[in-house]
Structure 1
């Protein structure tokens, strides 16, 4: 009697079939394991090169942001020279405080002249420094950053890392010489960079992989400027493989340190080297390799059966999502959400929620970066970007510079809280009246700037006059207080950004000189505007 149809026979056939099915799977896993082992180094190095390149670009972007922060003061110095006068100190401290608030890497911005006088963005910190360190005995002209800026006129000087005397945090100073062109005086504008904060930003970027390290090395001094471990800032850099850091970019594996290394120079800063390091971790893979292979063999059959069941669903889902992502790349946010509503997949609502959340976060971040926290208007950073775009496209536009009359007297008489309230209320009124017809910015202190892109000079002036007249009739809580503002206005007519600003600023000065509470156009006069010295 044949036993081929007995339960034992069927079971034996199934066991043999599963073994035959498992053998090619086992062979494939062994082959994959060996190939992965052989190509492990290439894979890690390629990953490190990619990560290090991205971090190097980020470092370069940070350096450009820091340079732009000083560039704002250098540009402004051509209009309102930096000096030790109370007016100059207040003007530049207002600008510098905004810059420090907007960039967490900036500790303080300061100015020192050729006579040894100095002041910074933080008047309270200046006072503490004077008390704790006897600032009268400290001559800024002897500091490394001052001498360095003197040695490279027209360029930015980056100091070696050092411990700040007041905060005791590691810092570097970026500085640039300002020549006042009077034949005798000059000064240096500088900014202290918070290296621990910079390092903590790096550490946060690498927090998902604790085997990764990243640092910024100054090749000239061979010292670490920034490190994902802040405790290593300022230390000498001397690993066994340092002699392999040749050229501007590269990658290698160090058997002595058992780690992979990728490096590249920072854009526009060839003396700085961005280095990313990862410890070799395939020893753990070798230790657990046998267990992984055993588990793979035992679960192989179930995997094959599950793959057959879910293959069609997965392929359909992937194809649908891939097509959706391709379409979303060219759609606005409203179109994206509408498109996702039409997709009949259980996973689509999750994708819709994620896109909406990310979009809102990006929008909120953009608003925080480009808005003045006191008035809610666009800030000076946003103004600079707007003017740069207008001049890059050679656009013709109308600009008005607004200055609240007697603002210092308001602060002195009623206090800074009242001054802030005046700024907010005048700004809100301007937003309501100008609406979409103009973009309104806070330039600094009590000065605002309005940009009219699609309006004639005559109509823009009438609009500004309406704002001025309503502002002058506002009722205030403070008894007897009346608020007005003066403004200069003009059309660009092909002028450079700097020349146009000087022209409109001159018209503002005429308005102030003529009695305040008025709008003066650059076209009202043929002769040059008088200066404050006149």
Structure 2
């Protein structure tokens, strides 16, 4: 009797094979689900942060190049004007004032122009309403320019009275005998209307909170979305300190307000300013959390079904079940190929094998969907910027001739302001359909950002690309659109390899042509000018 009682106790303590297998497989499925989520989270986090950093660095570089080119153009304009003033003794006062007015109004580079003779006397000034003609210069920047007798660019300084920041640029004047006759100078008001401010305001904060700011060489803010901060010393900022040392790059940083940000920063060679483009880290994590939540919701149903099937089959299977559990345990740790369908002699084991294949296929489907989302613009369904750049580099590596058409809807901000952003989105979608229906099936259409689009037209010469661009422009202008009024587009074109063999330079040249189209009155297509040394 005691021995019989001991056997019954041991039986109660032992776990049945079906229960053991049910517990082990259930735990394995749940753990692998967690591992998949963690792996997806870490991979997506790195991808989002790296992409945001690279994009911010690209935007900062683009802004830096634009400002650098602008200041070089300003310097060239002053040099040309100084040469015309070399025979100043033969010019009367009205002619001098008219020339200053012409220089100021023709380019919109400078808010005011001044001619100072070698004694420091202001001989004339434009605009005349603020003229100090007949007085001697008093500002330190003006005195420094006079003393140097060579090209000069001042650090930003506060204007007397208004306190607005000013940058002063000058070019010396020498007469026909080489005698120093003073200088011609231009002032740039950083807080008033001019070309520089137009560039600043054309790069607004985007929908995910990214923005940019400009600092001078000593760390003082020259431009910021919060205008109250202009003139503030932020040299204690980690990224700004690197710019002061002449460094450019991208990194995760914490600003002076304690906000974690992803920053791209680039130095402007011509004037020593720094451009910083930042995105809040919190926005990246919000996107990441939404992605993981979506993945979890899509996976929970098939995994729940799988778990119920495993619990039922575990009571009837032994050996086949072990092999399947081993397969599931590898998910998330290494690349797993979905095995070929093999029918088991046991009906229950055969059903379980099919369920595992279904789960693995669903994971692959989710991964494919993520890949599609990462390469497609959600509003238009066109290729996004990242994919466009990859295609361009691949075509360049394969020496495929192609043209780039950059398109920008004219006065799109007015459309948004007048009809609302929903109507603006419909206009963007409408234009995207016109582009895709105009180009060939093998060509690439991309929404480059905001109202800006790019088309890559392969195996065509520049004149053929021009005709494609004109068809797009005409179709948009004549089309029935969502807002019921004429919509136009300005376009710039560059060609590989007649314009450049660099993808970045091709985009830059097409963008410059687009800028010329805008400046020339909009609703037109302009081909980029070829650089010296480039052979068609």
Indicate the larger mover: 62-71 or 465-474: 62-71
Indicate the larger mover: 465-474 or 190-199: 190-199
Q: How does 1:95-134 map to 2 (within 5 A)?
A: 97=206, 101=208, 108-114=210-216, 116-120=221-225, 126=226
Q: Is the 8 A contact 2:405 2:492 kept in 1?
A: yes
Q: How does 1:66-215 map to 2 (within 5 A)?
A: 66-81=52-67, 85-93=196-204, 97=206, 101=208, 108-114=210-216, 116-120=221-225, 126=226, 135=229, 138-141=232-235, 143-151=237-245, 153-156=247-250, 159=253, 164=257, 171-173=259-261, 175=263, 177-182=265-270, 184-191=271-278, 193-194=280-281
Unaligned ranges ≥5, structure 1: 1-7, 26-50, 102-106, 121-125, 165-169, 206-305, 529-534
Q: How does 1:337-348 map to 2 (within 5 A)?
A: 345-348=350-353
Q: Is the 8 A contact 1:150 1:177 kept in 2?
A: no
Note closer, same or farther for the CA distance 1:517–1:329 as it changes in structure 2 (3 Å cut): farther
Counterpart of 1:297 in structure 2 is: none
Q: Supply the distance in 2 between the matched residues of 1:416 and 1:307 (Cα, whole angstroms).
A: 56
Q: How does 1:467-478 map to 2 (within 5 A)?
A: 467-476=472-481, 478=483
Q: Supply the distance in 1 between the matched residues of 2:315 and 2:252 (Cα, whole angstroms).
A: 62
Note closer, same or farther for the CA distance 1:461–1:340 as it changes in structure 2 (3 Å cut): farther
Q: Is the 8 A contact 1:145 1:158 kept in 2?
A: no
Matched residue SS, 2:202: helix
User: C-alpha displacement at 1:495, in angstroms?
Assistant: 0.8
Q: Supply the distance in 1 between the matched residues of 2:423 and 2:402 (Cα, whole angstroms).
A: 34
Q: How does 1:179-328 map to 2 (within 5 A)?
A: 179-182=267-270, 184-191=271-278, 193-194=280-281, 310-314=317-321
Deviation per CA, 1:393-447, whole angstroms, max 9, x where unpaired? Answer: 5554332111223435545655555443322211122223336322211122322
Equivalent position to 1:420, from 425, 440, 444? 425
Matched residue SS, 2:260: strand
Deviation per CA, 1:444-502, whole angstroms, max 9, x where unpaired? Answer: 23221012345565655444443333222112465653434434242335611232223
Equivalent position to 1:377, from 362, 377, 382? 382
Note closer, same or farther for the CA distance 1:509–1:69 as it changes in structure 2 (3 Å cut): closer
Matched residue SS, 2:66: coil
Q: Supply the distance in 1 between the matched residues of 2:425 and 2:41 (Cα, whole angstroms).
A: 40
Q: Supply the distance in 1 between the matched residues of 2:424 and 2:314 (Cα, whole angstroms).
A: 70
Equivalent position to 1:495, from 475, 478, 501? 501
Matched residue SS, 1:440: strand
Q: Supply the distance in 1 between the matched residues of 2:276 and 2:491 (Cα, whole angstroms).
A: 31
Q: Is the 8 A contact 1:398 1:451 kept in 2?
A: yes
Note closer, same or farther for the CA distance 1:425–1:485 as it changes in structure 2 (3 Å cut): farther
Note closer, same or farther for the CA distance 1:55–1:18 as it changes in structure 2 (3 Å cut): same
Q: Is the 8 A contact 1:396 1:453 kept in 2?
A: yes
Q: Supply the distance in 1 between the matched residues of 2:10 and 2:510 (Cα, whole angstroms).
A: 86
Q: How does 1:309-458 map to 2 (within 5 A)?
A: 310-314=317-321, 345-391=350-396, 395-411=400-416, 414=419, 416-434=421-439, 436-453=441-458
Q: Supply the distance in 1 between the matched residues of 2:44 and 2:455 (Cα, whole angstroms).
A: 33
Q: Supply the distance in 1 between the matched residues of 2:48 and 2:382 (Cα, whole angstroms).
A: 25
Equivalent position to 1:504, from 503, 510, 513? 510
Note closer, same or farther for the CA distance 1:310–1:17 as it changes in structure 2 (3 Å cut): farther
Q: Supply the distance in 2 between the matched residues of 1:71 and 1:449 (Cα, whole angstroms).
A: 20
Q: Is the 8 A contact 1:111 1:119 kept in 2?
A: yes
Relative to the length of structure 2, the TM-score reads 0.51
Matched residue SS, 2:57: helix
Counterpart of 1:64 in structure 2 is: 50
Q: Is the 8 A contact 1:401 1:449 kept in 2?
A: yes
What is the aligned length?
359
Q: Supply the distance in 2 between the matched residues of 1:308 and 1:144 (Cα, whole angstroms).
A: 62
Q: Is the 8 A contact 1:489 1:519 kept in 2?
A: no
Q: Supply the distance in 1 between the matched residues of 2:430 and 2:239 (Cα, whole angstroms).
A: 42
Q: Is the 8 A contact 2:384 2:446 kept in 1?
A: yes
Q: Is the 8 A contact 1:511 1:520 kept in 2?
A: yes
Counterpart of 1:263 in structure 2 is: none
Deviation per CA, 1:289-347, whole angstroms, max 9, x where unpaired? Answer: xxxxxxxxxxxxxxxxx99984554477679999xx9xx9679xxxx9xx659898212
Q: Is the 8 A contact 1:400 1:449 kept in 2?
A: yes
Relative to the length of structure 1, the TM-score reads 0.51
Q: Is the 8 A contact 1:407 1:446 kept in 2?
A: yes
Indicate the RMSD between aligned Cα atoms, in angstroms: 5.4
Q: Supply the distance in 2 between the matched residues of 1:456 and 1:158 (Cα, whole angstroms).
A: 43
Q: Is the 8 A contact 1:404 1:483 kept in 2?
A: yes
Matched residue SS, 1:81: helix
